[in-house]
Amino acid sequence: MSPSKASLDQIFESYIRSLAVAHQPGTLKAYRVVARRFLRYLHHAFPQLRRLAQLRRDPHLLSWFRCLCEQDPPLCNHTRRQHLVSSAVYWRIWPATATPSRLA
């Protein structure tokens, strides 16, 4: 399936699989957990979001981070750090069109 036709879920899973050569299984599991949670949030909060090229810092990522901050009970520091590190890894799969000026 071409990247333009792949779902966000497929793109994230493919990217995580590509990290397998350089990461431990536990790290990949953590990436998958965060990816599922992030994608579930996106599907619920932004049902019109279908392609990676549509993903933006604001509103998508910033609202995700706000959602993490508003968890009740609050996330522990380890879980919060895990979500932030995983999010940074996912930023690498954004399309070339998601340049810093467009992410601002």
From first to last of its 104 residues, the chain has per-residue pLDDT tens of: 545 567 889 988 998 999 888 989 998 999 899 999 999 999 999 999 988 888 888 898 889 989 988 988 998 988 888 888 888 777 776 654 454 444 44
Q: Which domain holds residue 58?
A: 8-103
Largest CA distance in the chain: 40
CA distance 9 to 37: 11
Identify whether 95 is preceded by a cis peptide bond (ω within 30 of 0).
no
Residue 23 inside a domain? The answer is yes
Is 86 in contact with 35 (CB distance < 8 Å)?
Answer: yes
Cα(10)–Cα(93) distance, integer angstroms: 12
User: Which pTM does this prediction carry?
Assistant: 0.78
Report the domain count for the chain: 1
d(CA 63, CA 70): 10
Q: Is residue 1 part of a domain?
A: no
